[in-house]
Amino acid sequence: MADHIPAGKMPAFVAQRQDAALTRGAIIGALFLIVMMPVGLIIYQSLLSEAFFYKSAKLALDAYAFILTDPAFYEALYTTVIIAAGMVAVAVPLGGVLAFLLTRTDIRFKRALEILVLVPMFISSIVLGFGYTVAVGPTGAVSLAVRHVIGFVPWNIYSLPGIIVIAGLSHVPHVYLYVSATMRNLPSDLEEAARTTGAGLLRVLTDVTLPMVLPGMIFAAALLLLLGLEMFGLPLVLGDPNGILVLTTYIYKLTTLFGVPTYQLMAVVAVLLVLITLPLIWVQRRLLRNARRYAALGGKGNRATPLNLGRRGQILALGAIALWLVISVVLPIGGIILRAFVDAWGEGIDLTQHFTLAHFKALADVPSLYHGIINTILIGVFGGIAAVFLYLVIGLAGHRNQGFSGTLLDYTVLLPRALPGLVVGLAFFWVFLFVPALHAVRTTLISIFIAYAVVGLSYGLRLIQANLMQIAPELEEAARTTGATALRTWRDVVIPLTRPGLAGAWALIMIIFIREYATGVYLMSSGTEVIGSLMVSLLQTGAMDIIAALAFVSIILTALGLFLALKLGARINE
């Protein structure tokens, strides 16, 4: 408090600035430590000759030499890049068109569509993979029906193009979100001018709207590239039968290649992945800054008049959106539901004869499975609350922070995101194991929560920051001028004003925690299982019926979370 400082020794505003800097520095410093422990461990491990906990481990570059001369690594790298680029090629145009239709035209059912088109981004990619296998795999229900009619199945989802199309379609909402945000801010007078001078709808889209939203689209493309590089669930499920490996699944394979886990090699791949993704994140952030600037150029207060689609246009547009939703939501979720309730499927099988509830009975009977469900709910609901609180504190520390600690925060947040969740989870497992002070939490849900909170940091923080940015700086300045400390300003001014937005953020973080799967694989132990990681570990034995039942539960929980998010008025963004 200001009055603790003897008058005359220090001008009040200096004291104020120092208390703010101190609080911020402390928070950001603590976060930096928490993030750097696993990240630093991974970097250190990559430079050793064997597992860091062996006394015989020596500093060596052998692991880098091995990976960088392994043809399988380059093959995986190539496949990863192709998949990421393919995903961009599929999702960006579609997402752009979708955004155009929903923001610039008079398309019917706009309200409902604005929510429906977001659904694909909430389905976990591992659930997606299973769903597609059952629905449109070589002997999936839909494939068999198609073959019945035309004599063959015209697609193969276990192929590179198959993975690309599926991944692309499921990432359309990400593009839509960014592009539609940019489009909403655009004035419509230019488009109207084009329309009145006789340009067709397509012409308006390509010649007028597109150039104006290009920065937003490039930004979305960069984001998608990033997501594509880190993708794990889809290639794990769909790439496995034909031996298609991406970097994240290559890490997985490195383990069996040598009979025992070769941590140094896993770490090297993780570090290389960071080296590839960090520049991308940096570029992406630069673009974001520019994109905002472009959007700000639009005329303010000029309400957009929607373009008239016409009857044919309406049918065409709605039909296309419906088709896309059927492919990316109805097919996989239908597949999961189907598989969860039957004990056999495929060629020559009458599904009505195979209906069963046995898989769900197993969920209720087997301790690890029902623990998994309960824990997932606990982590989603309470972990979500704790995470919102943490992210809020961090968000406040970075809020209007132009100093060194602000920049440090920016990069600290990005680091865990650039690493595969599986590896972050493994590193956290070691941190909890080898830091004596943390032993007590290792086998509790808290350890999983901490890892989740760090993995979800960049997403969650962005949700919070979006809320904080809405508060006019004058309000904070007023509090500060009247002598309030930084903490007091946050407590009495900023937090109360952001409270409504926090509820929505909580619901969205809850969904993220529910569908997370890679991070917990190494962390969970008896009693701390979570659904997502259970699915990954069950995949090793191939208990598909239990996996389907778990996926079904996961879908229900996610749907509940999404419902809650909408009720609470969450602002959904990536």
Summarize as ranges the residues that interact with another protein (CB under 8 A).
51, 53-54, 137-140, 240-243, 252-253, 255-261, 343-349, 362, 365-369, 426, 429-430, 433-434, 439, 442-443, 521-522, 525-527, 537-544, 546
Torsion of CA 397, 400, 406, 410, to 10 degrees: 90
Judged by CB, which is closer to another protein: 137, or 561?
137
Judged by CB, which is closer to another protein: 78, or 434?
434
Compute the distance between CA of residue 122 and CA of residue 116 in angstroms, rounded to an integer. 11
Compute the distance between CA of residue 243 and CA of residue 239 in angstroms, rounded to an integer. 6
Compute the distance between CA of residue 18 and CA of residue 394 in angstroms, rounded to an integer. 18
- 56 phi and psi angles, rounded to 5 deg: -80, 0
Judged by CB, which is closer to another protein: 3, or 347?
347
Judged by CB, which is closer to another protein: 12, or 435?
435
The nearest distance, CB 418 to another protein, in angstroms, is: 23
- Residue 173: which of 117, 212, 235, 110 has the closest Cα? 117
Judged by CB, which is closer to another protein: 376, or 401?
376
Q: Is 146 helix (H, G, I), strand (E, B) or coil?
A: helix
Cβ contacts of residue 212 below 8 Å, gap of 6+? 182, 186, 190, 294
The nearest distance, CB 50 to another protein, in angstroms, is: 11
Compute the distance between CA of residue 379 and CA of residue 167 in angstroms, rounded to an integer. 27
Judged by CB, which is closer to another protein: 259, or 301?
259
Q: Are residues 494 and 468 in contact, defined by beta-carbon separation less than 8 angstroms?
A: yes
The nearest distance, CB 38 to another protein, in angstroms, is: 14
The nearest distance, CB 389 to another protein, in angstroms, is: 30
Judged by CB, which is closer to another protein: 45, or 284?
45
| Residues of the chain by 3-state class (helix, strand, coil), percent to 5 | 75, 0, 25
The nearest distance, CB 350 to another protein, in angstroms, is: 11
Cβ contacts of residue 335 below 8 Å, gap of 6+? 130, 131, 132, 133, 134, 135, 136, 140, 141
Judged by CB, which is closer to another protein: 315, or 435?
435
The nearest distance, CB 43 to another protein, in angstroms, is: 18
The nearest distance, CB 353 to another protein, in angstroms, is: 10
Tokens 């824990």 found at: 375
The nearest distance, CB 364 to another protein, in angstroms, is: 13
Joined together, the tokens standing for residue 7 give 């008058």
Compute the distance between CA of residue 456 and CA of residue 478 in angstroms, rounded to an integer. 33
